[in-house]
Amino acid sequence: MCESLPAAGCECRALLSGGAQVVQKVDLPMGLVYTVQSLIFGAGFVGISYGVLSASWDPERKGGALGLDEVKQNFPVLLDALRKK
């Protein structure tokens, strides 16, 4: 459910900015529109990455609520895997 929030935010931003331009005749600066879009996309990327790293990769061990211990354990594993490539 939460992984779809950034995509929904991007769609809402597109509908709201398009509606503001067409219906209300508000001229939004394209730089502002692109900045907001990039922030929403970036938040989604960070959220999905944190979701992957905060999951318990060991099926025998129960993960914590926020996954901070799992991130500390999984991040070095990810870096080692990337360095070996």
Cβ atoms of 1 and 36 closer than 8 Å: no
| pTM assigned to the model | 0.66
Give residue limits of the domains in the chain.
Answer: 2-84
CA torsion through residues 64, 67, 72, 78, sign: positive
29, 42 Cβ separation under 8 angstroms: no
70, 56 Cβ separation under 8 angstroms: yes
Print pLDDT tens along the chain (85 aa).
555 666 676 667 667 777 777 777 778 788 888 888 888 888 888 888 888 898 888 888 887 888 889 999 999 999 999 999 7
C-alpha dist (Å) from residue 3 to 43, 54, 60, 68: 11, 14, 25, 19
pLDDT of residue 72: 92
